Each structure stands twice: as C-alpha cells, then as structure tokens.
Amino acid sequence: MIAQLFRRKPVEEAPAPRLRRVLSVVDLTAIGVAAVIGAGIFSTIGEAAAMAGSSVTLVFVIGAIVAGLSALSYAEMASSVPLSGSAYTYTYVVFGEVIAWMVGWMLVLEYAVGNIAVAISWSGYFQALLASWGVPLPLYWVQDPLSLWREAQQFLATGDPTFRAAYEAWQAAPRLLGVPLILNLPALGITALVTLIAYIGIQESRLANNLLVALKIGAVLLVIAVGAWFVDPARWEDFMPNGFAGMMRGVGAVFFAYIGFDALSTTAEEARNPKRDLPLAMFLSLALCTLLYVGVALVLTGLAPYKELSVPDPLAYVLGHLPLSEGWRRFLMGVVAVSAVIAMASVLLVFQIGQPRIWYAMSRDGLLPSALGRVHPRFQTPHIATLLTGLAVAIPLFFSSLHAVVDMTSMGTLMAFAVVSAGVAYLHHKPPVGYAPRFRVPKVPGRWPFLLMVLLGLFWAYSLNPKGFVALGDLSQGGPLWKYRVFLLLVGIVGFFIVRYNLSLLPMLGLLSALYLIVELDVENWIRLGLWTAVGLGLYFGYGYGHSGLRAGRVRSLAGEKPEGNGSTPEQGHSTPT
C-alpha cells in the first residue's frame, strides 16, 4: 500500500478531450499580472512603506527575488510538464500520488477558498466607490447574514453603539415569509459574473482579463505620472529610517503580493506553446509587476512622510493632499477607486479560471469524480468544475465574513511553492530518462555555497543583536523566539540534504524562503491547516485512492506506452523519474 501511495505519474500528453489552445505569451503574462496586481498596490504597499520608509523600493525588489526563486522552479516544471493542474500535476510526476493530492488540496485554499476573501474584498472596494458617488448600499445588502446577526445580538446584549447600525439593518431588511433577506449582494454578483465568463470560454476570459489588466495598468501609470510632478526628493534622503530590520519586516508584508504568479500555470493546456510561453510569461509578469510596485512606492514615499502611509488606502490618501484643484483631486481619487475595483475583479477572474483546471486535472487522474473532468462540447471549458467553483465561493458568502481565510490562502500557496521547489531540486539530483525541459533552473551545486551562507547568516545575526542571538539558543527563553527556533530546525533538516547530496542551490533557497514565511504565520493557521489536511486525507482515502487512474491503468505516457493489465504493480505501464 505504501508503494501505491507514492506511485508517480509519467509525463504525459493531455488526453482527449483537449482544451482550446488560444493563449499567447501576452495573454499568459496578463494572467500573471492580473493575479499579482491586486489589493497589494492599493493597501499593502502603505503598510510596507510605514515599516521600511523609502527603502520600500528595495523591499519590492527583494520580494520579487524571493518569489522569483519559486518562479524558477515553476518555470522548469511548466516547460517539462505542460499540463493543467499547476503544482498538483508537477508533484504527481515527482513525488507521487498522495503528496500530489495534498498539494492539490492546498491549492483549493489558494483558489476556491481564497476567492471567498477576494470576493468580500472586492465588495468592500465597490461599496466605497458607490459611496463616493453618493450611492451607498444598505448594510443588509453588503454583509453576510451570520455576521450581521451576531452584531445585532451584541447590540441587544450590551447596548454598544458600535453595533447599532447592524441592529437597525437587521430590523430594516426586507423579509420573505418572515425571514430577513440579508446577503453580500456585490460579492455574490461579481462571483456570478466571473463564473459566467470562465464558463463560456477561455477566449472570452482572455479578452475580459486583458481589458481589465490594461485598464488597471493605465490607472497605475496615470497615478505615477501625476504624483511624480509633486514628489519631494528630500523625503528619500532618510532611505532606511527603521534600519535593516525594519526593511526586512516590510519584505514579509509585500511578498504575499507576488504569490499569484503561479495562476498562469493552471492554463498550460490552453497555451499555444506552453513549454516556451509559460516560463517566459512567469518572468515577464513578475518583472512588470515589480516595476509598477517600485514606481508606486517611489511616488508614495516622495509625496508624504512614510509614517503617514499606514492607512487602508494610501494612494487615495496621498492624492487627496496634492496641491491641485478640488476637481482634479476628486478625479484622481475616482481613478484609484475604479482601478481598485478593476484590479480585484481581475484577480477573482484569474482564480476562478485556475481552480476548475486543477479539479479537471485531478478528475482526469481519477482522484475526483469524473464529472469534474468533463469539457463542454461548445465552449471547451471544464464547465462542471467551473460551476462548482462558483458555488464553492458563493455559498460560504451567506455564512461568514471569513477574514481568517487570507492567511490560510497564503499558507496553502506557500506549501505548494515549497513542494515544487523541492521537486526541481530532486529532478536535478536524479533526472529521469529523457528529462529535457525547455527551461532549466541554473544548476548550482549547493553544498559549499549553503554552508558559507549559513556561516555568514550566523555572523550577521550576531553582529546585529548579540543578546538576541544568545537568547535564541536558550531554550528556557519563551516568547516569540520559538518561531525562529522552528525555522532554524527546518534549516538544519533541509541543510542536511543539501550537504549530503549536494543538491541544486536555487530551488532549495526557494524551499527555505517558503518555509520561513510559513513559520511566520500565526499558530491558529497551523491548527486550521491541520484540520484542513485531515479532511483532505479523509477524502483521498474515501474516494481518490480507490479510483486512481494509475491503479486503474488509465495513464498514457509521452512515449506512447500503454499500461498492461490493471496497472496494479509499479512495473505495469508506469515509468518513474528515478
């Protein structure tokens, strides 16, 4: 049984029915930009600037480099395994079925579950836009019923005026058979719209996404161009006001702005030339997004003191204080509001495209019901999986605001980053016969560079804070030091394999970067992740294990090999990377 759990899928051509190959490198780059340029450029950038000051420009460059380490591994896998499924498919090829299932289960956090938070966030931006036009929506149409009921009960129990509006909204809500009709109407509306676009075809989705990306890039460039006229270079002189540590705290805040680049890898079977275009699009989208982030960061820190930028809407804040006429200020703030709505809508669209294709790939492998692998005869999209994704986002909107889902989404994505990076290092160490990716991560033997980096890191940490360095080794010291101890333990484990097998350095650095950011997340997210993992394993052993395409002999390799018999042994119809 253990051997079957870790059976690896051969690199295969996509079996019929195929999806429609219409995406060019420009389209794929636009998908990457759509996933990366979202709320980060309208809100997170202010937090990072407050931590790092003018050095926030370097923060975004460092964040791009860290994300780029994972992007390198994704690019190599995409150029060698040009199939739908993103990290799920890559993991199946390298590490085997049960690990692939868990990565696919983690990707549900990034896409389907994460889009719940994206839809709620879009609703907030849309409400603000309507309010700025003098058209506020009633509270019972912009909040989920469970949260509104809790706040109304809080008002009845305590009389706290903070919750009076919720109580009044509950009383004023229209009723059907005595039941108050309360729903987050904007969030449900945008979810239905993007699900419809994703359902009717990749061509329509491509056009819609390209338009949204062009609009939001144009809006960001307009803000940069106007703001540049009023920049005070003297504000940049104190480049690193909170020191190197403050700048590095900013890196943790902005890295999550970059994690959406992997969304374009889910469309591999709809790319015209996936082996060439997917890696190129990943790097182009990261480079373009980094330039936009750096440009906005320069303008923000040049227009206002960095301490004032820790506000929910830093772009609107600084533009509202420019020495312009009231009409121009209102116009620019309107541009920011509209572009924020457009940016979040494009993120939602890309993720609603991505999740169905992961379920489509898992269904094709037998790990999910076959209905999710069906392709619409006219639209050539995984239509049932697309509808299920829409329901998976829409239904929870009736029950919870789900603010905690943001960190859970990040954890699921980082887990996928870590596994893909480890997979590329393994392929460099033991490449399978015929393994010849179109793009290859530069192979740098890691043993001695890693040891040198560890020594330099220890010296640097001691020079910055000798007392803190000593306390780190004192297990009697509690408090926040435990996270760093956990990370050092992980570095030791990963380092053992790097030194023992002289593994490729760059993918292993991508692995360590992802592990560091995972450790930095709150403990509650680890508890939720444990519960999520338990549910995932239950589903796998309850359905996926017994229906696996590998054990049923339904896998076809690039070499045209056909499984013999029922595929019940590793030798029958299956070639592994080792």
- Would the pTM count as exceeding 0.75? yes
Q: Which listed CATH number (3.30.450.150, 1.20.1740.10, 1.10.8.60, 3.30.70.360) goes with 2-135+186-400?
A: 1.20.1740.10
Q: Check residue 575 and give its pLDDT.
A: 36
**Could you tell me the residue ranges of all domains in the chain?**
2-135+186-400, 145-182, 426-430+446-552
Contact present, 91 and 423 (Cβ < 8 Å): yes
pLDDT tens, position by position, 193-209: 999 999 998 888 999 99
Rounded-to-integer distance, Cα 577 and Cα 12, Å: 13
The amino acid occupying position 525 is N
Per-residue pLDDT of the chain (578 residues; tens, 9 = 90+): 677 788 887 766 555 557 888 999 999 999 999 988 886 777 778 878 888 888 888 888 888 888 899 999 999 998 888 888 889 999 998 998 999 999 999 888 878 777 888 888 888 888 888 887 888 888 888 887 888 888 888 888 888 888 888 888 888 888 888 888 888 899 999 999 999 999 998 888 999 999 999 998 998 898 899 888 888 888 888 888 887 777 777 776 677 778 778 888 889 889 999 889 999 999 999 999 999 999 999 998 898 888 888 877 788 888 877 888 888 888 888 888 888 889 889 999 999 999 999 999 999 888 999 899 899 988 889 999 999 999 988 888 776 555 555 666 777 888 889 999 999 999 999 887 767 788 999 999 999 999 999 999 888 777 767 776 666 665 555 556 777 788 889 999 999 999 999 999 999 999 998 888 888 777 777 888 888 889 999 999 999 888 887 665 554 433 333 433 333 333 333 333 33
Closest listed residue to residue 251, CA positions, set 293, 299, 313: 293
Angle subtended at Cα 92 by Cα 89 and Cα 95, rounded to the nearest 5 degrees: 140
Q: What is the DSSP string of 405-422?
A: HHHHHHHHHHHHHHHHHH
Contact present, 188 and 182 (Cβ < 8 Å): no
Contact present, 199 and 16 (Cβ < 8 Å): no
Q: Check residue 476 and give its pLDDT.
A: 56
Helix (H) or strand (E) holding 499: helix 481-501
Token digits of residue 247: 């700048």
Say how many C-beta atoms besides its own lie within 10 A of residue 228's C-beta: 13
Rounded-to-integer distance, Cα 361 and Cα 85, Å: 5
Q: Check residue 26 and give its pLDDT.
A: 94
Rounded-to-integer distance, Cα 74 and Cα 420, Å: 7
The amino acid occupying position 148 is L
Q: What is the DSSP string of 325-343?
A: -HHHHHHHHHHHHHHHHHH
C-alpha dihedral, 37 to 244 to 484 to 426, nearest 10°: 60
Token digits of residue 518: 């995972």
Q: Check residue 550 and give its pLDDT.
A: 66
